[in-house]
Chain A
Amino acid sequence: MAYYRSQVLICAGTGCHSNKSNEIIERFNEELKKHGLEDEVQIVTTGCFGLCAAGPIVVIYPEDTFYSKVKADDVPELVEEHLLKGREVERLIFTTEDDSGDEPKTLKFVDTDFHKKQRRVALQNCGRINPEDIDEYIAFDGYKALEKVLTSMTPEDVINVMKESGLRGRGGAGFPTGVKWSFAQAAKGDKKYVACNADEGDPGAFMDRSILEGDPHSVIEAMAIAAYAIGADEGFIYVRAEYPIAVRRFQIAIDQAREYGLLGENIFDTGFNFNLNIRLGAGAFVCGEETALMNSIEGKRGEPRPRPPFPANKGIFDKPTVLNNVETYANVPKIILNGAEWFNSVGTEKSKGTKVFALGGKINNVGLVEVPMGTTLREVIYDIGGGIPDDKKFKAAQTGGPSGGCIPTEHLDLPMDYESLMSIGSMMGSGGLIVMDETDCMVDVARFFMDFIVDESCGKCPTCRIGTKRMLEILERICEGKGEDGDIEKLEELAKTLKSSALCGLGQTAPNPVLSTLQYFRDEYEAHIYEKRCPAGACKKLLSYEIVADKCMGCSACAKQCPVSAIEGEIRSPFTIDKEKCIKCGACMDTCRFNAIIKA
């Protein structure tokens, strides 16, 4: 194996890739060649580092220098200064201000809370290895867990370790993984399957994508371990077609594993066989539901099946099946290698280990973070996430996507785990965490999620098909200022019916965003309905613009900008807006230099 004095790690996850990290890679190759360094310095394209907001990211080892927002044109300087002369390029190093002490100081990446408060287990290899090179995975103990399982453990041993570890499903419901495996092991069948749910559909969630792009082998290894534990010899991974990079890297990983004899027949000479197939989704959110996903793998419409029978007894092609989510699998090899106690020493009483969250929305450090279960929302948003941009006020965080709910300010100090989130009307979900500030309207957010559900409801059961539609109609009315007395009660009644009678998880959880916003922001609903007013100023139909006479200098700039000539007045005296003509585009407000125009 070649020896390199320096490694340049360049993120090629979707976030950085879209920010043209591929151009940076090309440029590095050219520049290294130009200086004759191609045998001394190795370029490693990696998965996601987590700090997508500062992308594209380049890390140079052995110094562990973390460069952010790198452009292709910065590459010659990086090569000449850092790699040739050994001088770090200060202006590109990621820094953040620490103003907690008396004097603000600049922190390096490794000293930031973003880095220090995280604990990476599932994301351990993301941003550290080249996902397209199996040797790099193996160098970091890859496939060692599979070897340990096949050569020194019985299937019962494996299941016991999983049970002791306390690992619970990271897809959202939080069912204990070891217990699930034991059901499938106990089920009788000549053929069994393991499957991986990579149909990550929750808006704002991209942890599974990042694991598949950054560390695909960990999922393959875990699926093989699961197959051994339950007695399966074939597996399926169901990936969204919207994730082309993830699909490509996973296919490369499968091919390499097969070539190394880590997939296929007689693995590690133990007589254990395991083959893995990729199936692509085709754009149906409901296929994230386990029984719908299985129907889709079978080539049918992705409609859920009634349970029982549960997949552990009758899954894919009616055979016993274990289905886990990507992040769940990514934890498995580490648990096998380090032991159940290592894993369950982290977390809360009932939720063990770590959880990956995708931070998005109104937050400074948009990206992927992994923290111990029980970390508070305040730590995640303010210490790790860097707070809310533009000095806006935090209003709520949304977790669990269209099945989840909002966490308001009063619960910022709640330790996040499965039970506590459930107790305040939200849920862990797959880990999407969208932060909203004071300008986001919670009624509109509820309407947004209901619109999503109406679109994605498969239509099989009437409660979901019709109930969600009726709820959406009411929410739309409220947002348009046509809400009526009694609407809130109707929403609550429909929600109750849906929760108790929909066929699958999608329908049963569909009312959650409405219920949780009603629980914490009922006054906003009431303002829309009774006062025809949107307190956040987000619902356009309820907005009106006014000119404050005291501040208006009568310059006529706004009148010139107005596309419908709704503003009139005489120069040097206050102007007025004709509310009948106004289309509420906001152009006047953007134009005014005296802050004389307000939203009311």
Chain B
Amino acid sequence: MAQTVDIKDLSVARQIARDYKDVPGCIMPILQKTQEKYGCLSFEIQQALADELDIPVSELYGVATFYSQFSLERKGDYKIGVCLGTACYVKKSQDILDELQKQLNLEVGHTTPDHKFTLEATRCLGCCGLAPVMMINDDVYGGLVPEDIAAILAKY
């Protein structure tokens, strides 16, 4: 997810917190909106949100570190998620992931130094008909073989 707001500009985060403050159970939507804008939930951002919500920052930190969707560090502009759900796994999606690791010279869960790609192994994406599947941001690629990878990466 590409970031749209400078990570140092905390006013946007504060505004999001104020907008949702009165919604019961607002923490999840606030963290989701904030990460959408900043691309991550840095400690400073969490601190700003906690101030606005008048809750200890530890409470936000607890939630932010529980869910795999939230990230404390900036991710790449393009998030590559290779499905390792059962249907894809039995159709050899591990080979796809290995190929991506090789081509990007990147370990799973890490981001390239230029912040272009983040490589992740994801849970079932629910399009098992196309197994093995990967997603790059919102684009789904199905029926993959390792030979397809180079051409797909070249598009980005």
Contacts and interface: CB of A to CB of B under 8 A. Distances in A.
Interface of A: 14-15, 17-19, 52-53, 55, 200-206, 209, 241-244, 279-285, 296-303, 317, 358, 360-362, 366-367, 398, 401, 432, 434, 436, 440, 445, 448-449, 452, 458
Given A18-B142, A203-B123, A367-B129, A360 B87 contact: yes
B129 A301 contact: no
A19 to B, nearest CB: 7
Given A19-B130, A52-B127, A361-B128, 13 more contacts: A18-B127, A52-B130, A203-B85, A203-B124, A281-B69, A282-B32, A301-B63, A317-B24, A360-B129, A361-B91, A432-B86, A445-B86, A445-B90
Dominant secondary structure of chain B at its interface with chain A = loop
A358 B128 contact: yes
A242 to B, nearest CB: 6
Interface in B108-156: 122-131, 133, 138, 140-142
B4 interface: no
Contacts of B69: 241, 281-283
A280 B28 contact: yes
A557 to B, nearest CB: 19
A434 B126 contact: no
Nearest to A55: B129
Closest 5 CB pairs of A and B: A52-B129, A299-B27, A203-B85, A282-B67, A360-B87
Most buried by B among A15, A203, A206: A203
10 contacts: A14-B126, A203-B85, A279-B29, A298-B25, A300-B63, A301-B63, A301-B66, A358-B128, A366-B87, A448-B86
Interface-central residue, B29, B67, B128, by most chain A CB under 10 Å: B128
Contacts of A458: 66
A15 B86 contact: no
Contacts of A301: 62-63, 66
Contacts of B90: 361-362, 434, 436, 440, 445
A284 B67 contact: yes
Interface in B84-106: 84-87, 89-91
B62 A15 contact: no
Interface string B53-87: 00000000011001111100000000000001111
Contact of B124 (A18, A201, A366, A440): A201
Contacts of B32: 241, 280, 282
A301 B63 CA distance: 5
Contacts of A242: 122-123, 125-126
Contact of B130 (A15, A209, A280): A15
Contacts of A19: 130, 142
Contacts of A281: 67, 69
B67 A283 contact: yes
Contacts of B129: 15, 52-53, 55, 360, 366-367
B27 A206 contact: no
Nearest to A200: B126
Contacts of B130: 15, 18-19, 52
A360 B93 CA distance: 14
Contacts of B124: 201-206
B85 to A, nearest CB: 3
B86 A14 contact: no
Contact of B25 (A297, A358, A360): A297
A299 B86 contact: no
Nearest to A459: B66
A201 B138 CA distance: 19
Contacts of B27: 299-300
A580 B89 CA distance: 28
A303 B124 CA distance: 21
A15 B127 contact: yes
Nearest to A16: B129
Contacts of A299: 25-28, 63
Given A203-B87, A280-B29, A366 B128 contact: yes
Contacts of A204: 85-87, 124, 128
Contacts of B70: 282
A268 to B, nearest CB: 27
A471 B141 CA distance: 34
A55 B124 CA distance: 19
B66 A284 contact: yes
Nearest to B60: A299
B28 A279 contact: yes
Contacts of A317: 24-25
From A201, A242, A284, A401, residue with most partner B Cβ within 10 Å: A242
Nearest to B66: A301
Nearest to B62: A301
A537 to B, nearest CB: 13
A448 B121 CA distance: 13
B128 A206 contact: yes
A434 B86 CA distance: 7
Nearest to A278: B29
Contacts of A285: 123
Given A280-B29, A300-B27, A300-B63, A360 B86 contact: yes
A458 B129 CA distance: 30
B126 A243 contact: yes
